[in-house]
Amino acid sequence: MIIGFDGKRAVLNNTGLGNYSRLLIDVLATAYPGNEYRLYTPRIASNPRLMPLMMHENVRLIAPALPRQRALSGLWRLGPMGTQMVRDSVELIHGLSGELPLNVGKLGRPSVVTMHDVIFRRFPQTYAAIDRTIYDYKFRRAAAAATRILAISECTARDVMEFYGVPREKIDVVYQGCDAQFHRTPDAAEIAAVKERYSIERPYIIAVGSVEERKNQMLALRGLRGIDPDVDLVIVGRRTRYTDRLVAEAAATGVSDRVKFVENARFVDLPALYAGALLSSYTSRYEGFGIPVIESLSVGTPVIVASGSCLEEAAGPDAPVVNPDNAEQWTDAAARIIASTDLRQTLADRGREYVARFSDRAMADGTMQCYQRAAENF
């Protein structure tokens, strides 16, 4: 089978959607080498994270065919990209980030669209009005036009059903894994080197994710003053205006000297940053899945998650779950984990056992089954 992907995110993005796109194509190319995988991208750019993917002989990058299309690359993705896929004998089209070419229904090919989340519907206040309108238009059209929808969690599947009226039988839930670098535990020397690189000198709790209101790092910051004063909070992620609120809160509660912000951490350093922590905190108010949860558990660091979306689904039945607005609950959970080496080890062992289900092979097999259903139902 020749599979054509909207490869913009895989080529040009270094965060969540880009990581998902590269991982999916990598695991498919490895598990099903008899297929061809073509990434259609508005422009070809240098991206070190893309290099391992391009080592596969069955993966190709394809840019707009005509100069005027390259000049208007945003418009190319709306329609001409799909037409180019058909000319290139693509047999199935996969939109990796909630959208498909607007003419996909006229291309005579089965199509799949991955839906990650509809947070812009759940938390509209965190998006500009124009962005909400565009996302909603693209998602609604893609949900209606796709032969099948691939949702990254049961939570996302429920949201797609609720907001876009999609029947459950049209949706396949395929969990994603995490990058292969998280499949091992960093040794003591690597952890020490990374802590030195980021000037981390004391025991710490880590919170990985863009520093924004929805991610709710405020809960850990407010809970920090209730735990061992020798333990710090290290917040790793892109800073936004929400950072100023966290800084002000830290000053008001007297924990400024215990809160450290790390921006632009190297991706290769993340496993050691997780592994060096006493525990991980991921108390986002809403997520489609929550990759930092399985990254942390994969390297053996227990995680506290918030209730209300998919995070219990990602973390498993043993992870402590707290109300996203209850700092006392967070403090109690963190204090118990910090105080007991045995509890930390138990949570680490059970977490690792649970996240084994989010394997590369399971991701590849589930996606291929989705493709087969799309071909059969087209």
Q: What is the DSSP string of 184-208?
A: S---HHHHHHHHHHTT--S-EEEEE
Question: Which positions ≥6 away from 90 have C-beta within 8 Å?
Answer: 2, 3, 4, 38, 109
Q: Please report the pLDDT score of residue 166 as a whole number.
A: 96
How do the pLDDT tens digits run along the chain, 378 residues long? 999 999 889 888 877 788 899 999 999 999 999 999 999 998 888 788 888 888 999 999 998 888 877 777 778 889 999 999 999 999 999 999 999 999 999 999 999 999 999 989 988 888 889 999 999 999 999 999 999 999 999 999 999 999 999 999 999 999 988 888 998 889 999 999 999 999 999 999 999 999 999 999 999 999 999 999 999 999 999 999 999 999 999 999 999 999 999 998 999 999 999 999 999 999 999 888 889 999 999 999 999 999 988 899 999 999 999 999 999 999 999 999 999 999 999 999 999 999 988 999 999 999 999 999 999 988
| One-letter amino acid for residue 317 of the chain | P
- Could you tell me if residue 205 is left (phi over 0), alpha (psi between -120 and 50 degrees) or otherwise beta? beta
Q: Find the distance separating the first CA and the last CA of the chain, reported in whole Å.
A: 15
Domains in the chain, please, with CATH? 2-177+359-377 (3.40.50.2000), 180-355 (3.40.50.2000)
| Of the candidates 68, 37, 69, the residue with the CA atom closest to the CA atom of residue 54 | 37
* Cβ–Cβ under 8 Å, residues 155 and 310: yes
Could you tell me where the beta strands, DSSP code E, fall in 129-203? Answer: 148-151, 171-173
* Cβ–Cβ under 8 Å, residues 255 and 226: no
- Could you tell me if residue 37 is left (phi over 0), alpha (psi between -120 and 50 degrees) or otherwise beta? beta
CA separation for the pair 187, 91 (Å, rounded): 45
Q: Please report the pLDDT score of residue 245 as a whole number.
A: 95
Q: Please report the pLDDT score of residue 66 as a whole number.
A: 81
Q: Please report the pLDDT score of residue 60 as a whole number.
A: 93
CA separation for the pair 150, 152 (Å, rounded): 7
β-bridge pairing 148-151 and 2-6 = unpaired
Q: Please report the pLDDT score of residue 229 as a whole number.
A: 95
